[in-house]
Structures are given as C-alpha cells and as structure tokens.
Structure 1
C-alpha cells in the first residue's frame, strides 16, 4: 500500500494553483484574483478527502481543467471560476443556489449546464445523449459551457490510464463519437487531434504504438528536410521585410491511420506526413494580400500541385478557420503541405471560438461569422426537434459535424448546407411550404430530381405544385435536420388522418359482419394481419394495403393460422454460429467463465480470437461481440455504456473463423498459384473465396480465409508478403 504524504500533496496542489494564476495574470482585472482564490478554496473544501481513480487528490482535476481553459483555449476569469467549481454540485453537498449566491448568476448558469442530469431515463434512450442535449441547450446562453466541458473531457482522456478497461472503452468511444467532432466544429483543432489520438491509444493500442514509433524514428531526417526546404523561403521573406514565425508539425497519428485505410497505402507512402506553417505578423487590412504574396514567393521556388490549393482566407470555414493551404513539390521529390496564415488566423485555428470571440469584442472582426451562424442553427435545431435523445443525437451529428456545400438561389443569395445535401434540403432551407410542395429542381438551368446531391457553386431553382405531398421516400433524400423534421411532421399528420378513415371503414365492416368492435377483436385482427398496433391496422386498411373484404367472421371465431413461418431471432443466430463454427466456450464474458449460450459475433467487424473485443447486451438479452476499434462499436459504447460487458477470447485453437486479406502487387504469370500454395499447402488454411483484378501490370486481390486467431492470421500474412511480386498485405473487415 502506498503511503500518502499530506505535506507533499499540499505542495503539489499549491504548485498547480500558482501555475494557473501565472497564466491568468495578463488579463486579471480589479478583484479577479480574489474571486479565483475563493473558488479554489471552495472547491478544495468541497472535494476534501476525495481522490481520483489514480489515487491523487480530486482537486487536481478541476485545477487541470481550469489550466486547460486558460492556457489552451484562452478563456477568462468567469470560465476559470466555473472550471474550478464544475464538479462540486454533482459530487458534493453544494447546490446551484449556493454557487449563485457566492459567485453570481454567470458562473451558476455555466455550472448548471455542466452538471450531469440525474434521474430516471426511458428505456432505450441514452443518458449520455440526454446530457449532451442539455449541454447544447446552454449554447443559447453561454458557449463557455461547452468549451469547459471539452477541457474536462481532454483532461479525463489524458488521465485514462487509471480507469478499468471497460470504462476506458466507453469514455474513449464517447469522446470519438461526440467530443472530437464538437471540438472540430468549434475550431479547436489541437483539441480534436489530441482527442482522436488518445481514442486510438486506448482502443487500438498496437496500431497507435506502431505509428508513433515510426514518426519518432523519422524525426531527425524530417527536421533536416524541413530546414533545407525552408532556407530559400526564409531568406526571401526577410528580403521583403515580413515579420514571421514558422512551425513544422507532423500529422496526428489518427489522421495518418485514416489516410492509410482510406487510400489503402503504407506509412512510407504518405507524402504529406507533416505540414509547414508560416505565420505572418501583419495588420488586419493587409492580411489577404500578405498571404497571397507569401504563396507567390513559395511557388517561385517549388512547383505547386494545382489540385491541392485550399483558399480559406477569402471563404473561411464555418467554424471560423482561415488559412491558405498549398502542397508543393520539394527538390528531393517529396510533396510538402504549406499553410500560410496570420497571427490572428493562427490563434483562431488553435483556440477556435474563444479566440474568434476575443477578436469580435475587440472590434477586429465584424459581421456574423460562420461559427455564429452554426450556433444559431444549433438553437433552431434544438427548438424544432421533438424526437427522443438518441434520434436527436443522430440528427445533430449528421447536420453539424460535417463539411458544408455552398450553393446559390436564382437571385444569387448564398445558402450554406451540410455536405451531401440534396435539392430537397435546399427547398426546405428556403421555406417549409416550398419544401412540402417541392416537385423537382433546376440546377444550373438543368432539370434534376429531388435526390440530386448539391455541389459547390450550384445555382438552384425549386419547382413546386400545390398538389404535391411528402412521401416516405423523401426521408431517404433529406439530409438536413430541418427537412427531415418537417417531412416527419407532415407524414405523421397524413398518417393520422388516414388512420381515422381506416377506423371508420373497419367499424362499418364489423357492423356488416355483426362482430363487436372490442379491443379483444382488434387484437385478433392485429395478430392475423401481423401488424404491431391498432393505428397501423387502420392505416393499412385506409391505404388498401389490407383489403377490407379480407376481414371475415372466421378471424374472430378460430385461431388464425399464420401463413409465414420464420426462425426466431435467437434460433437464427444459433444457425449462423453453427455455420461459422463458433463455440460458446470460446469467450469469457463479464469475467464469468460460465457457458454463455446466447452470444453472436458482430458481422460489422467480424472479430476473431486474438482481437481486442467487448460484449454488448442487446435488447433481446443476448450478447453481441465487437472489436474495440469497430465503427459501430464506438456508437454503442458511447450511447449505451451501461450495456457494455467485458469480453476476451480463451485459448482454444481448433475452430476456424472467417477473415479477409487484401493484397496488392505487380502482376506476373503463376502469382495466384504461388499464393494459393502458401495458403493451402504451407499453412493448411482453408480458403472460402479469392477475387483478383489486374490493370496495367498492377493487381489487387481480396481473399477470404478461415483462421484460428490473430496469430494464425499474422503468420499467414507474413508468408504471403514474402511471395515474389507482392507489395502490400493487409486485413480488412
């Protein structure tokens, strides 16, 4: 047992507190230092005796969150006080009224937004989703709630080591699902990158270590390359009298992995592994001209890639990001990404909304920024949305965590919509009535269907008809929350009126048959026609899906025979298990080695023994096994943390699991024969399928094989990699 030294702990706490004051000092006014001290003492007393999972005093957490808020986001006194007190209402006896009395309404409002919801939730909804919706509601009052929440989440992720494995997976997945995209949307790029990297560190540790080792090994060569690359540019910038600073940064580990997977390449093939950032110190009125002048200087020395020019100086991103990006060819034949921006732009890029707000209040920026427009959209969405928390969360992610598409009305007004938005979304964005009566659209003078996906620069004219009504199919085309909510409302109204008509038709039919209109008889009809509710029954009768003449007396007098026989879901799962050869003794679930009959292997990620896995309790009570880095798994762990169960493979080897291997190489006669020899003869592995495609001497192939576990799969991939002509071998889901 570790001995606690109270004096050493007291000194450690004071060291953190003094560091916080040191960073806050430049913007402290009159009484601010006293207020911060009071908040620190209140938090220290309230959390007295409490410890984190790591064993350290709890007060170090609020101090760290306040430090992140001031040092990494650039927030002021109110935010520091709120960060120091952010857990006291939830974890101690202090109440919001106490905070308001001692520290005022602004701090109390922020802490109320940060305090988690307590109480009972409907089954099937997620507490996390409810918390998130509540937090967003505070956006209309004070965006600092979300900024402090992000600081809190970042510190929790930095200290995740001390948490048990299942908690690590839940917190990391929740972070990836919600907080990393939110940080991106608020312009906090450094937060976003660190949160993504930490997610990877805990869900796919081997990959994280592998890529970080490769980055470390190439560091000295990279530094020399950057120095040589920049030498002529720096001389020229000085010649023109620019005041500037240059930063070089490698890509984040997560973005490198994303690129490897998306482009199906190796680490060594990533050409823009790092970016060079040139930051200019120029007055606001000269910013655009200076950025383009520097672009001109760079392209005098190095040939630019015309497809890789990104101008966010003239058209900033919706989260306020401004920068000029170009990719140029160095003299050693490597592509290099160069970002050109000013000090103001860099601060907004690093500190997002907080920096944007600072420049706005100082009068440097004017007008409504894309970020403010986004926050207004969040408010509109919260007011219009009446769905349950999980559905709301899904809509929110679809609409507000994506890139935008810029399109124009016939009169030239700019409309910004989410990427992949359609002509139908555009119609609803203009006006609800136009959306509801939308027949089609003209894009750049050409007729297009409602499902047409808009592209940047499109000019859109909507065609309407008073006879037009929304139908279910529209929900497949609509992307924006506004369009989907209005369509669902219209369909609900339509369905309601149709159901009333269907009910009247059924009442008349029952009178003809001299059958009583009782709930028991309605239940018999539901069972006979296999419909889930009375409303559905009425609706299907009104729409002719159920012929009213098929309602006959025999339904009420005899037990109806069902026309279709289907396997129960559980039996079906067992059939699949039988086919795939999965034995219930192979997994230890929830630390219990008891025989678990009722589990299935998730088809979305196809885990095999040796993979890092978790169990998810389904609504039917069964358990679904996913890989920890599965995309669907992220959503499950984030939304249903209470249904996540620890799971690990045991050591049985005699069963075979299906896995996919993708290979790439140079084509030659006899290559497929050599590969099949390695697979079937050398390692005695059964193949289920093999597909090959050759083009201009390069071939790509997918092979489905049965293996015992990840060790068996790795050995097979290593042997295949040694076959003459094979360039890359990788597993795919």
Structure 2
C-alpha cells in the first residue's frame, strides 16, 4: 500500500474510532486500532475489484455497524471478518492476539460466507439450517454478515456482470428478507433497491425519472407535507421531529407489479415519520393527524399495542393529504425509533458508554428460538424451506384466543392455521371456527385484531383438502405428517412389495442400503419413509430405479467431438480440463489462460480460482457444448470397499454396467477388513457421474465413495 493510500485508510480508521467514541466513550480504542492494523497487514497486497486496497472493505463494514452503535467485539469482528477465510490468519492466531469471543465471531462469519444459499433445494435447506444455527449461537455473526453484504452491494458495479446478477439474486432472496425479519427495515429497503438496480436497471431508472417529472410538475411535495404536519404538532402543543421522503424505487415497482397499475395511478408513494417523547403523545399526534386529514379505511396499524415479534413498535396510518395525495405516517417514541432502526441489533446498542436498556429491544435468544421452533420438527427439506420462506417473507396479522392471548400469523392465514399455531392436536380435531363470535368456515382469511375460537370434535382427523386451506409451514407440515401416518403401515407393506417387484424387473436385489441410498438422494429421510411414499403413490418406483440404475446408454453416432466440446473459445485456442477440479459436461465452467498451457477449464466452484480472482483479463466466459459427450472425461474417486473375495470385481462390473471405463486403479490402503482404492473413471457428464456413484453407493459392500478434487494440482 503506498503512502497516500495508507494515509487515506488511517483517516478512515480515525473516523471509525471517532464514531464509536461518540456513542461509547469507554470503548477500547486500542483494541479497534490493533484489529485494523492486524487486518491491514493480513490483507497486504490484496485488492478489491475496484482496485482499492482490500482493507477498505472491512473498514466500511465496521462503519456500517458503528452507525448502529454496536459493541467493541462486533466492530473488531467486522475489521477481521475476512482474515481467516482470505489470508494466512488462523482461528488460533486471532484468538491469541485478540480474544476467543472475537475469534468465534470471525469464524462464524467465515462459515456463513462459505454457505451457498442459492444452490439446489436439498442443499439450500441444509444451509438454511446452518444459517439459523449460527444465528442461535450469536446474533452478531449475522449482523456482521448483513453489513458485509450491504457494502458488497454498494460496490457491486466493480464485479463481472454475471457475478453482479448472482449476488443481487441471493441478496433479494435471502439477505434482504432476513434484514427485514430482524427489524432492520432501512437495510432491507437499501439491499432490495441495490439488487433491483442490478436485476432491472431500466425499471429502476424509469421510476427515478417519473419521480423527477412529478417533482417538476408539483414542486417538493415532501417538504410541503412535512411543514403541514409540523404545523399540526405546534397547534396541539407537542414537540417532535418530523421527516419525510419518497419511497424507494423498488418499493414503488413492487406495488405497481402487485396492483397491476401504472405509476400515474399509484398512491401512497410518500412516507413520513413523527418521533415524540412518550407513548401518550403518539396517540395525541394520531388524533391531530386524523382531525386534519381524512384517514384511509383499512390502512391503520397499531404496533404499539400489538408489537411485532422483533420488538418493532409504531403506529401506522395512511391519510389523504395535500392535493388528495395518499401519504403514510408512522408515529413512535424515540426509544421505539431506536429499535425500529436497529431491530434485534438494538440489544447490543451503546449510548454514552453504557449498554442501552431499551424496554422495547427484543431478547435475541428468545427471538431466534421462536423463529426456529417450528423448523426443528420438519425433516423434509421441502417442508423446511416452505416454513423458512413463509416466516421470513410474509407480513403478520395478530389475532386473539378467547382468553385474550395473542397469536401471530402470516398474512392470509385461516382459522385452521390459527388452530395449528395453538397446538397440533387442536388443529387436527378442528371442525369449525368462530371469529368475533360469528361462525365462519375454516378457509376464511383472518384479519388483524379478530378473536378466534376453534370448534373441535373427537374423531376428527386431518383431510387432504386442508393443505389448500393453510398457509403456515407448521400447519402444512403437521397435516402432511398426519395424512402419511394414518395409513403408514399399510403403505409401507404395499411400498415394499412394489419396490421388490421393480428391483426384480431390472435384475437387482432390493436391500436396505439400496433403499437408504435412494431415500437420501430423493430427500425423504429414511428407507421406511421411502416405502411409505411408494405405497401412497407420492413416489413411483421409476423415480427410485432412476436414481439407482439410470439408463445412460446414448446414441454414439450423435456424440460431440471431444476437441470441440467447449463453446466460447476461438477456433485456434487449445484447451484442457484442469486436474484440480476435473470438470464434467453439465457443470458450470470458466476458462483461465495459463502461460504455455493454453486455456484450462475449471469448474465454477473450483478453489484454485481464488488465485486468479483479481486477474479478469485471464478469464473466459465459456460453456460445454449442448448434446451427447463421449465417455472420455476422467474423474477420480476415493472408494472404500469390504475386503472380501469378489467385491472388487463386482464393483468394477457395476461401473462397466453404467457404460463407464476404469482408466486407472491404485490401492491407497489395505486393511484386514477393508480396502481403500483410488479409481480414475472416464465419464460422459455430471449426470453420468451421479449414475455411477449411485450404483456404487447402493452396493452393500461399498462402505464409502467420494469424488476427489485437489486444489494442489492446479497449475
């Protein structure tokens, strides 16, 4: 780093420390400085896509968290959050130089960064579980990760276009809803808008252009309405802060899409906030605003008397303001506003050197416990994802039991969802419901503030049609489980017979291991569950046989010439597959030029790519040619088999039956009870690999088989 860049970064460090001292005069400034210099030294020589020294990123992340008035450990974690992942620093080193608490936080952020949250559904469900597990250990890990993602999205323009789109989709699908669910609405809105600018730049520009045109035609509406509200406060004798703004482009675009209307017909595009000292003043301000302007029916929400689960409290009302324009007004106290800005993060906020004892800040441990309680009971990855996304993406309605207890449900929930939210047994026996004393059908949508009484009957059991009546993951999961359990034993017997006949037809013996392998691949949990689903016709035997013994015989006359297997290179460019990751047709790939080596083809997730991430001039955007590829692409397997006569021969025969060729075989380990061998197998595609692997995993004498990828073999 040159002297000029060093001076700039040290100035930013001074600004960060000044910001932390402003809310926590007792902070450990030496600890923060040491963390900065440790990170700067660890990242020495590393550059961001923008060409700036890498340490600018941790500094920016730390400043985002300092704006939330967070504790020293969180600020230090932000400064160090990429050291364990991207430098030679280790967990032990960070723990020794700083504290075990900070090392645990940095390690937690590192593990989150490695999660591929937008991968296949089975893997996505497992990674969501890991995400919530990390949150349950220490919520500050997620706060650092959210700030990390926010700064990455603020600087996303420096990435390659395809990387920008991938980051934006992941942000829109995962991180923005998570920020909102944690009560950090400002961050959710900014993450959504930044992602919107990447995924639909024309749409965002059009909204901004319409706002500019509207301002030229009508003047500064925000300033005028802000003045009007202040005048009403003065008339009422209440001192308070008033702020207003036009809503963000993505929020406007989403409303246009949901309501299927154009910008000119859209109302409620301005939002205003009134912050006062006491709860009593909140309701007095509400009265003043409703006396001055006409309230819009069904657009009033009192989150002070019915707070959200993340601690959010505020009054929301929509009125027809100046020139009949609809505006939303939020009214809250200063303590409520702190939680509204920081959400769950308010638990760690400091002011004047002391942890803020905000009466509205929710306990993070209790919040995450409530959030994950319903997920723990779901073993099916589809049901788990359904529950997670419903919980993270939907707004809530608040209803009451006959005893006055509050039940929180997603918008669109029915009395049946309400029943299952109280207890699974009540949901299973529900035959009707009364809402505010009036008998209603089980499919009627509930509204805020309604009192719900569930009518039950002995002998009632869940019906298949109920799945269409509920929206909560908890209710859907419970209904599906009840339906499966009702005839489970009969279904298992029927499924066993169906599976036996199907295995006989293809010349294979049905075994527990084969069924367990298929169950794991299909994501249904166990061989018993697989048989039950076969018997209930939720699965058919072709799906099971397709997993274990897929037909990989292709028409060789249609095979692609192996020398022309890649699309995206010049005719005179030579290429070969990288030994480190051995990519196969069907996998996403990238080409990297190496001096004297031509272009090497790497899998997009190859660890060796990290070495050339800052050299975009060497990257080639390529893909496999569509069609049938010959079985000439070697892949290395590490396989452990039982040491018994004929086992190695049978496994080799199985590979041959899948139309794959063994090009090399070497013994890695010989024991009395098992052999460990290395196999080089020539394959057609990633699907061919899965077929060979499934066939071997279903073989009872194969204890383990793994695909070998070795970054050390990269050029």
Deviation, structure 1 residue 492: 4.8
Partner of 1:392: 384
Partner of 1:375: 368
Residue-by-residue CA offset, 1:218-241 (whole Å, 9 max, x unaligned): 446666444444445434533554
Alignment of 1:185-224 (within 5 A): 185-219=181-215, 224=220
Between 1:49-58 and 1:223-232, the stretch displaced more is 223-232
Partner of 2:139: 143
CA distance in 2, matches of 1:62, 1:476: 47
Deviation, structure 1 residue 49: 1.1
Summarize the Cα distance change of 1:174–1:458 in structure 2 as closer, same or farther, 3 Å threshold. Answer: same
The 8 Å contact of residues 23 and 70 in structure 1, kept in 2 or not, is answered as: yes
Partner of 2:338: 347
Summarize the Cα distance change of 1:185–1:61 in structure 2 as closer, same or farther, 3 Å threshold. Answer: same
Return 5+ residue gaps in structure 2 as ranges: 520-526, 540-553, 555-565, 572-583, 589-604, 608-619, 624-715
Question: The residue matched to 1:108 in structure 2 has which SS?
Answer: helix
Between 1:302-311 and 1:17-26, the stretch displaced more is 302-311
Question: The residue matched to 1:383 in structure 2 has which SS?
Answer: coil
Partner of 1:675: none
The 8 Å contact of residues 272 and 335 in structure 1, kept in 2 or not, is answered as: yes
TM-score, with normalisation over the residues of structure 2?
0.66
CA distance in 2, matches of 1:87, 1:315: 40
Residue-by-residue CA offset, 1:647-686 (whole Å, 9 max, x unaligned): 99xxxxxxxxxxxxxxxxxxxxxxxxxxxxxxxxxxxxxx
Between 1:378-387 and 1:134-143, the stretch displaced more is 378-387
CA distance in 2, matches of 1:544, 1:396: 27
Among residues 49, 52, 73, which one is paired with 1:78 in the alignment? 73
2:149 maps to 1:153: yes
The 8 Å contact of residues 499 and 536 in structure 1, kept in 2 or not, is answered as: no
Question: The residue matched to 1:325 in structure 2 has which SS?
Answer: strand
Deviation, structure 1 residue 152: 0.6
Alignment of 1:406-445 (within 5 A): 406-445=398-437
Partner of 2:57: 61
Partner of 1:12: 8
Summarize the Cα distance change of 1:231–1:212 in structure 2 as closer, same or farther, 3 Å threshold. Answer: closer
Summarize the Cα distance change of 1:437–1:357 in structure 2 as closer, same or farther, 3 Å threshold. Answer: farther
Summarize the Cα distance change of 1:126–1:87 in structure 2 as closer, same or farther, 3 Å threshold. Answer: farther
Partner of 1:296: 287
Question: The residue matched to 1:461 in structure 2 has which SS?
Answer: strand
Summarize the Cα distance change of 1:411–1:28 in structure 2 as closer, same or farther, 3 Å threshold. Answer: closer
Partner of 1:108: 103
Deviation, structure 1 residue 187: 1.5
* Matched residues, number: 542
Summarize the Cα distance change of 1:411–1:241 in structure 2 as closer, same or farther, 3 Å threshold. Answer: closer
Summarize the Cα distance change of 1:522–1:298 in structure 2 as closer, same or farther, 3 Å threshold. Answer: same
The 8 Å contact of residues 95 and 103 in structure 2, kept in 1 or not, is answered as: yes
CA distance in 1, matches of 2:403, 2:585: 55
Partner of 1:365: 359
Among residues 300, 319, 322, which one is paired with 2:313 in the alignment? 322
Partner of 1:248: 244
CA distance in 2, matches of 1:108, 1:327: 47
Summarize the Cα distance change of 1:112–1:194 in structure 2 as closer, same or farther, 3 Å threshold. Answer: same
The 8 Å contact of residues 185 and 319 in structure 1, kept in 2 or not, is answered as: yes
CA distance in 1, matches of 2:93, 2:251: 45
The 8 Å contact of residues 502 and 540 in structure 1, kept in 2 or not, is answered as: no
Among residues 82, 98, 101, which one is paired with 2:93 in the alignment? 98
Summarize the Cα distance change of 1:387–1:95 in structure 2 as closer, same or farther, 3 Å threshold. Answer: farther
CA distance in 2, matches of 1:228, 1:523: 81
Summarize the Cα distance change of 1:417–1:301 in structure 2 as closer, same or farther, 3 Å threshold. Answer: closer
Summarize the Cα distance change of 1:482–1:239 in structure 2 as closer, same or farther, 3 Å threshold. Answer: closer
Deviation, structure 1 residue 158: 0.4
Summarize the Cα distance change of 1:437–1:135 in structure 2 as closer, same or farther, 3 Å threshold. Answer: same
Summarize the Cα distance change of 1:43–1:133 in structure 2 as closer, same or farther, 3 Å threshold. Answer: farther
Between 1:489-498 and 1:163-172, the stretch displaced more is 489-498
CA distance in 2, matches of 1:98, 1:345: 41
Partner of 1:453: 445
Partner of 2:275: 279
Deviation, structure 1 residue 418: 1.8
The 8 Å contact of residues 288 and 314 in structure 1, kept in 2 or not, is answered as: no
Residue-by-residue CA offset, 1:433-482 (whole Å, 9 max, x unaligned): 33344444444455555544333334333344554444554444343333
Question: The residue matched to 1:377 in structure 2 has which SS?
Answer: helix
The 8 Å contact of residues 211 and 253 in structure 1, kept in 2 or not, is answered as: yes
Q: CA RMSD in A?
A: 4.3
Alignment of 1:574-593 (within 5 A): 591=568
Deviation, structure 1 residue 523: 6.7
Partner of 1:630: none
Deviation, structure 1 residue 103: 2.6
Partner of 1:24: 20
Question: The residue matched to 2:493 in structure 1 has which SS?
Answer: helix
The 8 Å contact of residues 233 and 297 in structure 1, kept in 2 or not, is answered as: no
CA distance in 1, matches of 2:210, 2:313: 31
Summarize the Cα distance change of 1:10–1:458 in structure 2 as closer, same or farther, 3 Å threshold. Answer: same
